[in-house]
Amino acid sequence: MKKIFTLCAAAVIAASATAQTVTESKTFDNWYIGVNGGVATGIHPSQLGCGGSWAKDITPNAGLRIGRYFTPVFGLAAESNVYFADLHHPGRTGNNLFGNMTNTLVTSMNTSLIATINFSNWFGGYKGEPRLFEVSGVYGLGWGHVFGGEDGTRYYANRWNSCDKVDFLTSKAGLDFAFNLGKSKAWQVYVEPSVVWNLEGAQKGVRYDANYADFQLNAGVVYKFKNSNGTHNFTIAQLRDQSEIDVLNAKINDLRNDLNGKDSEIAAKNKRIADLQNALDECNKKPKYVKPETATNLQPTVIFRQGKSVVDNSQMANIELIAQYMKNHKNAKVEIKGYASPEGSKELNQKLSEARAEAVKNILVKKHKISADRLTATGMGATDKLFEQVEFNRVATFNDNTK
């Protein structure tokens, strides 16, 4: 008995490790229901002086099993079987454990809580779906009851109840030879040879005694309910290491920052679209250049995303307006001033404002062929004075500094 308990404990440990690292399952996943039936006969009927022999007194039975797989290796099930009158001697028990000396059709029942251990998955590993053929072990304890014994009938020929008890402790151990069928492996059929003991039959306390045990051969069919993963069985978990998790978190944060910047960009575009169109119309008229006496603040601005110094495609039209202005005014020299909004440290905002001014200058020089000596890029640091809306201060502005 100690060996059986040790085997079960080892299986639970192995199954738990498998569940934590290999598969995933929710609380109401991996439940199943099944029916079974077969025959039972006493292992040593002649040793009790009952006059029987192996396989001569056969008791048919039928049962229901409901259970759950907690991992691909370990599961628990509740099972209840009822036993009928002896096939060879209708109306009496014979020399097996199931029945009584009355003429009832159903002579007794056995209800058990059994552990299931899938040896195929334990030793061969779980590959993502059940194998076509698998071998599992079953072991459990239960409660047995003999019908018709409440009137005081003595069970001198009934080894289920040799000590005149109608309720007693039972135990079951066996093997399931199972086939998983169907495209989704939702159905399973199995053949199960097992031994069932009456643990109180020897009148010497609770013990496993082959003289008070039956060999039972049953066949059954099981249906596995559909799981939250869309299948009828376990799936392999998608495991990720910490570096992958860090990369995903960084991408999520970038997307959040982009989303926060969208609202301010849309508001700025809607506010300035009319002004930009008017400025473009003015540039297309190619007005005569008038030398300003002081620095002139040119209308277009370039808006940046939070923490970024890369010019978005949506801002290229504003830079094109400045390029057109400088081509129409050959002597104009323009100062590009970069700004940052107040968030962050002073040093970081100063570098960010300089990078924004340089980014705009590079586009004017490289894309629009404006001479670099006509452009000055200056970082102005952080400000909240240009616009009342804080986000609008992440900009580059243009001043005509022609003397």
- The domain that holds 349 is classified in CATH as 3.30.1330.60
**Greater model confidence, 353 or 25:** 353
174, 43: one domain: yes
When pLDDT is cut at 50, 70 and 90, the band that residue 156 belongs to is: very low
pLDDT of residue 287: 41
| The pair of three-digit structure tokens given for residue 230, joined into one six-digit string | 């869309």
pLDDT band at 383 (very low <50, low <70, confident <90, very high): confident
Domain count, the chain: 2
* CB-CB contact of 359 with 379 (8 Å): no
Residue 66 or residue 163, greater confidence: 66
Average pLDDT on 46-59 reads: 58
**Same domain assignment for residues 247 and 231:** no
Q: Are 231 and 344 in the same domain?
A: no
Other residues' Cβ atoms within 10 Å of the Cβ of residue 40? 26
Task: Give the C-alpha separation, 168 to 310, whole Å.
Answer: 81
pLDDT tens for each residue of 327-355:
999 888 999 999 998 888 889 989 998 99
Per the model's pLDDT, the better-predicted residue between 200 and 181 turns out to be 181
pLDDT level of residue 23 (50, 70, 90 thresholds) = low
Q: 225 with 80, same domain?
A: yes
Average pLDDT over residues 254-261: 82
pLDDT digits (tens, 9 = 90+) for 288-307: 434 444 456 788 889 999 88
Tokens standing for residue 150: 């409440």
Based on the domain organization, do 214 and 310 belong to the same domain? no
Q: Is the whole model's pTM more than 0.95, yes or no?
A: no
Identify the band that residue 64 occupies on the pLDDT scale cut at 50, 70 and 90: very high
The tokens for 160 are: 């289920």
CATH number, residue 224: 2.40.160.20
Q: What percent of the chain clears pLDDT 70, i.e. is strictly above it?
A: 76
Highest average pLDDT, of 47-51, 139-143, 235-239, 393-397, comes from 139-143
Query: In the predicted model, what is the mean pLDDT of residues 17-40?
Result: 78
Q: Above 70 in pLDDT, residue 50? A: no
Pair 72, 171 in one domain: yes
Q: Given 236, 257, 285, which residue is the final one in a domain?
A: 236
Same domain, yes or no: 272 and 172:
no
Q: Which of 205, 236, 267 is a domain's end point?
A: 236
Q: Are 188 and 264 found together in one domain? A: no
Kind of pairing between the strands at 375-382 and 334-340: parallel
What is the domain extent for residue 8? 2-236
Last residue of a domain, one of 181, 210, 236: 236
